[in-house]
Chain A
Amino acid sequence: MSKVTTLAAAVASVPAGAHVALSGFATSRCAMAFAQEVIRQGIKRLTVSQCIAGIDADILVGAGAVERLISGGGSRGRSGQHACICRAIEQGTLRTEEYSSLSIAFRYLAGSLGLPFIPIRSLNGSDILKRLQEVEPPMVSSMKDPFTGEEWLLLKPLVPDVSVVQVQVADEDGNAWIMGPRWDNEEQAKASKRVIVITERLVTSETIRREPDRTVIPAFRVSHVVHLPFSAHPSSVYQVYDFDKTHIKEYAEASRTPDGFKQYLDKYVLGVKDHWEYLEKIGGMKHLSSLMADPVLGY
């Protein structure tokens, strides 16, 4: 059954207040077109989770769409901190539940396996744990291993309402391939109640069935398929296009102040009708073709 739809329709399926897991990591495979459409539709009070915050989370936080951020931290790497997230934390306008990369991955894993909790060695002794113990109701617990008597820290599963995954290749049903490292995406998608797949290329079922080893997300978990080229721009999609250094620099510069960020939103998000207009605004095909990945290098 074809689940192919428009970005607007897929985004409209996400109600205010939903828990949305995003596939981005720093500046790679970020759900940018999705985030921009969420902002255009004015969907608010989201809970966003991901192992490492990407620019997809940062733009949503900057636009005031996020009430709660569950992550293991994150930055853009050498191009700087996520300014909108940092500012919101510094000003106390964003609720954060902070973990580490593995503790978020384990929470998704527990969610994907239908487990009630998962033991972990990380976080012990840290101030990250202290903060998680201070919230009401506490986000963590502990128990004695019934076999060895050893004390273990326990985390709750994460079960997002919807996971939004940027992929390279998918078919109309939603069978999706992720090329390159997958970070938290597989566990994240499998922990979620449903998945929105946003794909660079839409292929036939024949193509998927020829190489089923590559399928990371099976169709039966997927509610919507959106076929949208350059939908992770300005982040990278391995083997399809490189991250857009110039545009990320512009975003970084703009997001340093609330005013600058507002101007960025007005120009690139609220000032365009849809993703196609956005692509024109950032320089159209001429600019985008300069980002296309080398087939051997993957970037």
Chain B
Amino acid sequence: MTLEIEYNDFELMAVAGARELKDGEIVGVGLGLPVVASFLAKRTHAPNLTILLELGVVAPEPLEVGVDGLSDPRIWYRATVHTSFTDMLGSVLHKGLVDVGFLGGLEVDQYGNLNTTFLGDPKGKFRRFTGSGGGNDMASCARRTVITIRHEPRKLSEAVSFITSPGYLGGGDQRARHGLPGGPAKVITDKAVFGFDPESKRMRLESIHPNTTLEYVLSNMGFKPIIPEHLPVTEPPTAEQVRLIREEIDPQRSYMG
């Protein structure tokens, strides 16, 4: 009999996120789950991954990732370079050397446009959030972006309240016509993995996680994604991936619930 590996939704998301990073790539990492996913990738299949933090940190190897934010010195530990925004987001990202911008968000739409600025009506009642930070820069200049977001109807909206970080804008060739390279490659939720249709640039289901059903996935989002004929189940985490997350990367379970 095979032993069932227990894991929670966040671990599943982190593992799915890690899978999107290839060995040897340069990844610009946003706060939160992307941090855990990137360190997981580096400790498993992508030992030559270069992790960048926008404020000027290259290749950190923190003892703990359960930190307060990118400004928490815990996450800078054992970096190879301490530098600046102009260097990280300028001479690396703007120059075109960042393979993956790895971002979290408040709200994403069917074309992968990301909102981290506010929710509600800007002329009436609204709630203000973080704004761009380096998110817009990553979404504008990276070769591709990977977005992680909770699977909730208000987070997967037909249209976002505010485009902080551009995805494919209105779809088709709109992004390219704005002179922007790359674009979102994947959107990873705690229930499914989405890609984008190469022509229309609409979000397309690629796999659903073992913890859910297609019906649940569709009824908990604000738009209907493209559904392929053959819909695989997302590969679950391995025992080793779960162990790494729990014992080495995030032992305080600060991201993983």
Contacts and interface: CB of A to CB of B under 8 A. Distances in A.
Interface of A: 25-28, 51-52, 54, 71-79, 81, 85-87, 89-90, 98-106, 109, 120-128, 150-152, 179-187, 235-236, 238, 242-243, 245, 293, 297-299
Contacts of B163: 125-128
B116 A73 contact: yes
Interface residues of B, number: 56
Contacts of A54: 71
A149 B131 CA distance: 32
A152 B133 CA distance: 21
Task: Give 7 closest A-B pairs by Cβ, nearest first.
Answer: A77-B69, A73-B131, A181-B56, A26-B71, A100-B136, A102-B89, A125-B178
Contact of B68 (A27, A100, A121, A293): A27
A106 B55 contact: no
B43 interface: no
A99 B94 CA distance: 15
B77 A298 contact: yes
Contacts of B169: 125
A179 to B, nearest CB: 8
B77 A75 contact: no
Contact of B180 (A99, A102, A124): A124
A74 B127 contact: no
Q: By CB atoms of chain B within 10 A, which of A105, A109, A182 has the most?
A: A105
Given A81-B129, A181-B55, A181-B76, A127 B69 contact: no
Contacts of A186: 84, 86
Given A121-B140, A183-B84, 18 more contacts: A26-B68, A26-B69, A27-B71, A27-B72, A54-B71, A77-B72, A81-B128, A101-B132, A109-B86, A121-B179, A122-B140, A128-B163, A152-B179, A181-B56, A182-B84, A187-B85, A236-B72, A299-B72
SS class, residues of chain B in contact with chain A: loop
B54 interface: yes
Nearest to A299: B73
B179 A101 contact: no
B76 A100 contact: no
Given A123-B136, A124-B180, A299 B130 contact: no
A183 B132 contact: no
B154 interface: no
Contacts of B126: 90
A242 B133 contact: no
Contacts of A86: 127-129
A124 B169 CA distance: 10
A184 B84 contact: yes
A150 B177 CA distance: 11
A184 B85 CA distance: 6
A52 B73 CA distance: 16
A236 B152 CA distance: 35
B162 interface: yes
A105 B84 contact: yes
A298 B82 CA distance: 13
A158 to B, nearest CB: 13
